[in-house]
Every structure is written in C-alpha cells, then in structure tokens.
Chain A
C-alpha cells in the first residue's frame, strides 16, 4: 500500500465556474476518496423572503445565479401561482417556455465552451461562446437584459414578443443551427475529444439511481428522468417530447447529451412559435397567500430538476421559500465518480456535472 496524501482542490481553480472545495485523498496519482465542502458563496437569500413581499422577491430569485437566472424566476412564479390558485394566460406560458429554452441553449453552449477549455481545446471554447452571443443578443432585444432578464413575474410575463419578432428569433436560431453543426461534429466525432472524455468518470445506471442524480448527468447514464415529459405549463402543447438519453455513462455521454439538447431546444422553440396563441400576457394579482397554505413544484432547469417549496402566512410576505437546486442533488454523484479516478481527471469530473454552486448555496 502506497503512502496517502491529501491534496486540496479549489475553491479557486481555473476550471471551476464557482467555488467548491474538495479534499482529495490520493495514493500514487489515484484518488481514493473525495470530501466535498461548500459554503464560500452562501448569501442567505432564503432569509430575505421575510422582508421582501412576494412580487418583489422575483427580482431576488433571478439574481441567485447568472446562468439559470430565468429558470429560478419561472419556478418561483409557478410555485406562487399554485399557492394562490392563479391561472395565467396561454400566451404567457408559451413565452415563458421560449425564454426558458433559450436559457437552456445559452447555458449548454457555455458549458460546452468550458468543457473544451478544460481539456485544452481553446479554439472550440471561443467558437461556442461566439455562438452564445447571438442568444444573449436575442435576450437583449426582447427583454432588455443580457443575463438577468426581469421578464417573469407572478401572474404572467412582463413583456410581450410580437409575432414578427418571434419569426426573427426562429431565423436567428436556424442560422445558429447551421454553424453549430461544425461544433457538434467536433464534440462527437473528433478523435482527441473522444480519447480525452471516453471512459472518464463512469457511473452505471444502478449507481445513478442510488445516488438520485438528476438532469443531463443522469440521462447520460440511461436514467429516463425529465420534468418536461410531464407536460406542465407550455410544455403541454408539444406534440411529443422524448428526453435525450445515452447509455455510455461516462464524460463523453454527458457531453453528447448536452450537445444534442441544444438542437432539441431549437426544435421546441420553433414548434411553440408556430402554435403561439393570441391572449393577454398577464393577469393582475391581488391579495396575499392564505395562512397555512403551502405548495411545491418542479422545473427542469438546464442542470436538472429544481424543486421549490413555499408556505404562506396570510400577509404579503411569505413564511418560507425553499429552492433545491440540481447541483445539490448531484454532489453525491460527483463524489462517487471521483473515487478511483486519476488526479488529472478530477477537474473534468467536477465539470461534467455542470456545477452551479451559487445556486446551490443561495
């Protein structure tokens, strides 16, 4: 038995988008055990619900994370609408799904760029982010903000997108799909990418179910789990929705799932733009949640299933609002992939779960 050393990984590391700390117990370049630690970016945002009324709190949920910003405001609005029994117009549901799918495209392109940077292919990283700029320009044209959209509130959405603008968005996305074809070929078929990612961080389907992981991380190991399948909100208008599944279970599969989900999101947006109804975009919301009422809902964010729980107490301030992000669920799965891997594969394994630690630690 060789000598064991403990090497600290993070919280500052070039490959990490957000700070997380791992203590890696190593024996001769192989990781035996990894002990995670978080808490570097805990801002106590769940406590702010006591001093900001439920309409203003949307602005705070948006700012939990920069990448999944619209997803959190969507989940919050959805949860409060269930709590207060509000039904929103159809056009608002469709617009929310369009913005959310655009958010998924930009998040996956960001992640693909970071992955390319992690294994050293900087040209690919820059091309992915160049395509991502087009999605951010769409956000700026339709809502005024590139990263924090401020487009969703309890009762619907705050801005409308005209039908002409929607056709313009579809055109931009078609142009994006053509250029994205080259990048997709590189990620899926390039020899250097395959040899770097193949077999790294393998997780079998049984382990995936045991660790209860969610999102593309789970779908890459063959677990068929996607909240969009249940057809809540605007997703109910889709004709059929099949999640992208892979059974390889390693880093290459996770890359493949996310790369193909970009194409799937473009298709979803095109389908919904074709079916867009003509109704108002929001309903006026008056009053406060009843005392003792509670609600829970789930949203499929780019990183996985996100769970929201809220409880009202009769005033305009909520009693409790809880956000359980997908990365919180995936931390245990990440630690499992790290056991037995090489030291040089640790940054790649941490990145393949798409960690969004600032969401996790609100």
Chain B
C-alpha cells in the first residue's frame, strides 16, 4: 500500500527525451513493410484486371480498350491484396501515406507509347507469329486433304 509508485519513472522521464515525435517537422520512421499507398509500373502491366476483381473496396478500375489503370486512393484500405495477386508483379506498396487533399481525386495511369525500336520489335514478333500460325494451318489443311483422299480411295 502507499502512494508515489510512479516516482522513479516520472523522474526518469523528466530527464530523457520526449516519447513523442514532432511530426510532420520530423519525418516519420517507416519500416520496409509499412503499408501506405499503391503505385503501378505501367510498362509491365498487361491490364488483366485481376487486381480489380480482388480489391475489397473496389478502388481499382481497369479499362482495357482505353489502356488505363485507375486508382481511387481515398477508397484504398491498404490491404495489400492487389500487390500479392498481380501476375506480373507490377504493383508496389510504398510506405508513405496519400497526402491530405481538399477534394477527392483519382490517379489515372495510361500505358506508355511504345518507342520506335519497341514498336518494330513488336511488329516483327507479331509477323513471325502470323507466319507460324499460317504454316501450322497449311500443314493441317494438307493433312486433312490427305486423309480425305485416303478415305475416297477406300
């Protein structure tokens, strides 16, 4: 029984530095895992919209024809589901918070224009794919014709 059990602790606190931080003048200390806001790398994004399906608060909208990926940062609850489920690993969760604003806005990211080399590379790849498909179709047609001829002679 008695009083003044906190004397030792209060005395120590008098002479040590404060337990609070002068935020926002002092920057906050984040950990590598802190969940703040989501950013996307549009070069890798294939607009598959799996992140849109998994988001519990419907904060992401993916527009495949328009090639845009839209995030509503004020609806995001930082649950990390989109980052975890992206098949191309193009989403990252940064540690700092979405800054306060006077009105809500969307973050709209568009797929970047391809550089001339990339465009040429893409065209070459598409052409090669078309040639491969045509060769395979021709081979199949020849095989069918041979089978049909065999049936006729029988």
Q: Which residues of A contact B (CB under 8 A)?
A: 52, 56, 59-60, 63, 123-124, 127, 130, 133, 140-145, 148, 150, 158-159, 179, 182-183, 185-186, 189-192, 194
For B34, give the chain A residue with the smallest CB separation.
A144
Chain B residues within an 8 Å CB radius of A186: 5-6
A195: min CB distance to chain B, Å: 10
List B residues 67-123 near A (Cβ within 8 Å). Answer: 77-81, 84, 93
Q: Is the CB of A145 within 8 A of B2?
A: no
* Interface residue tally on B, bucketed by range: 20 to 34
Q: Is the CB of A140 within 8 A of B34?
A: yes
A56 to B56 CA separation, bound complex (whole angstroms) = 6
Chain A residues within an 8 Å CB radius of B34: 140, 144-145
B3: min CB distance to chain A, Å: 6
A191 to B4 CA separation, bound complex (whole angstroms) = 9
Q: Which residues of B contact A (CB under 8 A)?
A: 1-3, 5-6, 8-10, 19, 31, 33-35, 54, 56, 77-81, 84, 93
What 4 new A-B contacts, CB under 8 Å, besides A142-B33, A144-B31, A150-B78?
Answer: A144-B33, A179-B9, A182-B9, A190-B3
Chain B residues within an 8 Å CB radius of A130: 19
B74: min CB distance to chain A, Å: 16
Q: Is the CB of B5 within 8 A of A141?
A: no
Given contacts A144-B31, A144-B34, contact A191 B79 (CB under 8 A): no
Chain A residues within an 8 Å CB radius of B6: 123-124, 127, 182-183, 186
Chain B residues within an 8 Å CB radius of A133: 19
Sample 9 A-B pairs with CB under 8 A, ordered by A number. A59-B56, A130-B19, A141-B31, A144-B33, A158-B84, A159-B33, A189-B2, A191-B1, A191-B3
Q: Is the CB of A182 within 8 A of B3?
A: no
Q: Which of B5, B31, B77, B81 is within 8 Å of A182, CB to CB?
A: B5
A150 to B2 CA separation, bound complex (whole angstroms) = 44
Q: Which of B10, B34, B56, B77 has the most CB of A within 10 A?
A: B56
Chain B residues within an 8 Å CB radius of A56: 54, 56, 81
Q: Which of A59, A143, A182, A183 is within 8 Å of B33, CB to CB?
A: A143
A92 to B1 CA separation, bound complex (whole angstroms) = 44
